[in-house]
Structure formats: C-alpha cells, structure tokens
Amino acid sequence: MPPKDIINKAADGLDALANTLSISTSPTNTFHSPGSHFPSSFGRGSRPTRAPRQLKPFNTEDIKILLLENVNQTALDIFNKQGYQVESHKSSLPEDQLVEKIRDAHVIGIRSKTKLTARVLAEAKNLLVIGCFCIGTNQVDLEYAAKHGIAVFNSPFSNSRSVAELVIAEVISLARQLGDRSLELHQGRWNKVSAKCWEIRGKTLGIVGYGHIGAQLSVLAEAMGMAVRYYDVVPIMALGTARQVGSLEELLQQSDFVTLHVPELPETKNLIGEKQFNQMKNGSYLINASRGSVVNIPDLINAMKSGRVAGAALDVYPNEPAANGDFFTNDLNLWAEDLRGLKNIILTPHIGGSTEEAQSAIGIEVGDAIVRYVNEGVTIGAVNMPECTLRSIDFEQASHIRVIFIHHNKPGVLRQVNAILSDHNVEKQISDSRGDVAYLMADISDVKESERKDINDGLESLGACILTRVLF
Ligand SMILES: NC(=O)c1ccc[n+]([C@@H]2O[C@H](COP(=O)([O-])OP(=O)(O)OC[C@H]3O[C@@H](n4cnc5c(N)ncnc54)[C@H](O)[C@@H]3O)[C@@H](O)[C@H]2O)c1
C-alpha cells in the first residue's frame, strides 16, 4: 500500500494553494553552509542563472515535521523559515507514542536512538522523508522506506573536522603520556618524568584511509611539523607535502604514529592485528577513531604489553553500550578490563565527532536536504534512493510544474509515463534507479491549473506507482 500522497490534499484545495509565488524564499538561500569546507550538493554543476521559484504542492502550514532526540536548533530554524509546522521533542519516544505521532508527519527527524522499523513505518501514511541527524542510518529500515517512497537523508561528513582535531590532541597526549600523568596527579601522586616523552615535530604520522577525516588530519599534522604518509586503497591526490605509499606494510614500517580512518567493511575487519603490530616501529603509537572492528584488541593488548606499541588511543569498540553508564566491562567486551589496566592508553566513549560545531553542521546539512527534497524533489544525498536533481524552475516559468514519480523498477514504466505526459512539453527529465526502486523527475511547461490533477491521477493509476508528487 503506497503512502498517502499529500498531493491529494493539495489537489482538493487547489485554490488555496495556487498562490505559490507569494512565497519568496529561495531554497538556495536556506542552504547556508557553515564554511567553505562544507560542500553544497544543491544543483551540483547546474547552478541556475535566474532566481529559482520555490515549488510547493501544499499550504506550508500543512507540512508537519516531527523532530525527536533534541535535533539541533539550526534545523528548527531552517524548517520554521519555511513555515512548516514543527513539533520537537528532547528525547526519543516509546514505540506506541512514536506510532501515534508518526501517523500525521510528512517529515521525521531522528538521531540514533529512534528505531524506524517496518512496523513503525507502516503507520506513517503521510511520511515523505526521514532525516537522520547523525552519521549512521542503521536505525532505519532503509529498504522498506524506499519501497514506500520515503527518502532517507543523513550527514556522514559534518563531523570530520572534529574527529581530526581529536586525533591531533591524542597524538600529543600519547607522545607526552598526558593521560597517565593526569590520572596520577588526580590520585595525589607527583610523577615528573621526561623519559620516552617526545615532541611530535619531525615525527611521521601514518594515516590509513585518506578520506574526509584522513585528509583534514593530514593538513593539521603538517602544520604541527609532522611528516605525513598515507595508505588508501584508491590513489588520492596528496594535500601539502604528504605522500601516499603503496602498501599498508610500508606505511606501518615508516610511521611513528599510525591512525586509522577507514570505513567498516569486511576487508577492514581486524585490519590491524598481530601481523601488522609486528610491522610497526618499536615504540610507535596507534590511534583508532574509525570503527571498533578495525583493530584486533587482544592483539593490541599483547603489542602494548610487549612494548612494541608505546601508547594507543581508542574512541571506538567492537561492542559499545547503547546508553551512558558503568558499562565498559568484560560483560560488554571480554578484554575490557585488560585494556583498562594498560599504561598510556586513552580510552574515549566514541566522542570523535561529538562537538557543538558538528551538531550544528549536521542540523544544517540534513535540514537543507529535507527542504530541497520536500520543495523540489531533489534526492542528492539520499541513502536509499537514486540521487537525482534538475535545475530549479525559475520565476519566469510560472506555468511550469515538476512531476516526481517514484515507482517500481520494471520494464515499460517509462513508456506509460511518457504516454501520460505526451500532450505536454517535457522540458527536462531525469530518471534513475536503485535496486527495485526508480525515481523520475520531469519539468513540464505550460500546464494549466486544471491539468495538474489529471497528470497526478494518471501517474498514480499506474501499477508501478509508489508515490506521485506534482509540484508547482
Ligand atoms: N569516532 C567518531 O566519532 C567518528 C566520527 C565520524 C566518522 N568516523 C569513522 O571514521 C571513518 C572514516 O570516516 P571518513 O568520513 O573519513 O570516511 P571516508 O569515506 O571519507 O574515507 C574513508 C577512506 O578509507 C579508504 N579505504 C577504504 N578501505 C580501505 C582499506 N582497506 N585500506 C585503506 N583505505 C581504505 C577509502 O578509499 C576512503 O578514502 C569511518 O569508519 C567512520 O565511520 C568516526
């Protein structure tokens, strides 16, 4: 059963909705990036030369947004500016309350604690889009959402800088044994030592995975006087005077500090284990702020006990507690207490990306993606739909409409769609598929008000239809 298309609501009250031109806010105006490092995905490569017209198939007061888990104020500001109705909660909701609330919502914004299972989503008859105001999307049944025409957006890279800064702090902290000295003094013990404490200037930082975080880190480390080498499975242009090396082994042999910034993949599971520790320099350091599965922790414990590894910083673990509390014990990970007993090891509870700046950037990135999707049907950045965009319809194109047709990816559907649109001039059209779901966007010129509903109803009547939206 496809979700109820809100265009039906719009079509019922076309008179009330016709005055779309009175809404003057350009969607591009709301895409205020927090800085030049934050790439705009809007209309990539197709910047409109004339002012884009904001499309709305509905009264903006009618768009209902349910925000849970204290989504950042930056997102609320974006939604309020659009005139959407926003209901915001500080925490997640128990499932029965969630099911009640989600029934009305066109948009839901969550972080990691709210589970949007097929059972919950089945109640969400009006839902167009889910915003995960966080990195991961495991908490959402992505396939169910796609098959019911619900796009899902997240913000995978807004916290890269925060992670890179934490790693720099850890490099210095490990080199100076700051964690141990601080702990000793907290316990009343004065222990002034310089043996095996180092400056980081002139030392080599080996970065495994030169993506968003690895590359940021490279620049920061060079500014501190470090030499940077990196290993990545793809050739990537070096920043500054960093150098890519040909193998992980080469990197481990050359580096005083090794820091891991790879994704969690079958190939990266236990990427660093006994063999790799033996390839590292004697007395070198390991930092892992990527994913817990990347390091074999019992092997790390052995490498630290033997002195080959002089210090380590871990921010991520194979098993992490779902809530704050005294959970970092052997019940969670068999080796937890051994790890806690080591010297010169910094253990942090997955806080690499946890800064005010990152939260605010996530609010802006996901908030803007949702507005672009709701207002214009642009799916750039969606994690469960094909990524499609068309340049905006502008103010001079007053009788243009945009058709969004999410459908089952079957042969012959485009022929049926084209038959419905054949009496009109399709100015631009894009269609792409991802698995079983296909996404079509088409901008059509000179459509009379009375024809909009026919187009909508014609597309909705097709057997392959998941969701039709006609924006004007
Ligand atoms: N600690 C935290 O709070 C926190 C916050 C954000 C991201 N992360 C994690 O950090 C990691 C990196 O994030 P990112 O945003 O830089 O990712 P990214 O996708 O931008 O970069 C990952 C890089 O790793 C490379 N890579 C993939 N497999 C590899 C392999 N086997 N060997 C070497 N290189 C490989 C890729 O080619 C890519 O260049 C991810 O695991 C992410 O989940 C952690």
What residue ranges define each of the domains in the chain, with the CATH number in brackets? 1-159+355-389 (3.40.50.720), 163-347 (3.40.50.720), 397-472 (3.30.70.260)
Q: Tokens 């604690």 appear where?
A: 113
- How far apart (Å, rounded) are the C-alpha atoms in residues 353 and 318? 18
Does the pLDDT value for residue 8 go beyond 90?
Answer: no
> Cα(88) to centroid of ligand 1, in Å?
32
100 counts as catalytic: no
> Cα(262) to centroid of ligand 1, in Å?
3
- Catalytic residue among 53, 212, 261, 291, which? 291
- How far apart (Å, rounded) are the C-alpha atoms in residues 107 and 129? 5
pLDDT for the residue numbered 4: 33
| Best residue among 290, 291, 316 to mutate for probing ligand 1, ranked by most atoms within 8 Å of CB | 290
176 counts as catalytic: no
- Tell me, using a 6 A CB cutoff, whether residue 367 lines ligand 1: no
Joined together, the tokens standing for residue 426 give 């399709």
Joined together, the tokens standing for residue 253 give 């042999």
- How far apart (Å, rounded) are the C-alpha atoms in residues 281 and 68? 47
- Tell me, using a 6 A CB cutoff, whether residue 42 lines ligand 1: no
Q: Choose the weakest-confidence range: 136-145, 302-311, 396-405, 412-421.
A: 396-405
Residues 110, 121: contact at Cβ < 8 Å?
Answer: no
291 counts as catalytic: yes
Does the pLDDT value for residue 317 go beyond 60?
Answer: yes
Summarize the confidence of residues 423-427 as an average pLDDT.
92
pLDDT for the residue numbered 51: 67
Summarize the confidence of residues 14-27 as an average pLDDT.
28
Summarize the confidence of residues 451-469 as an average pLDDT.
94
User: What's the full length of the chain, in residues?
Assistant: 472
3-state secondary structure of 335: coil
| Best residue among 134, 232, 252 to mutate for probing ligand 1, ranked by most atoms within 8 Å of CB | 232
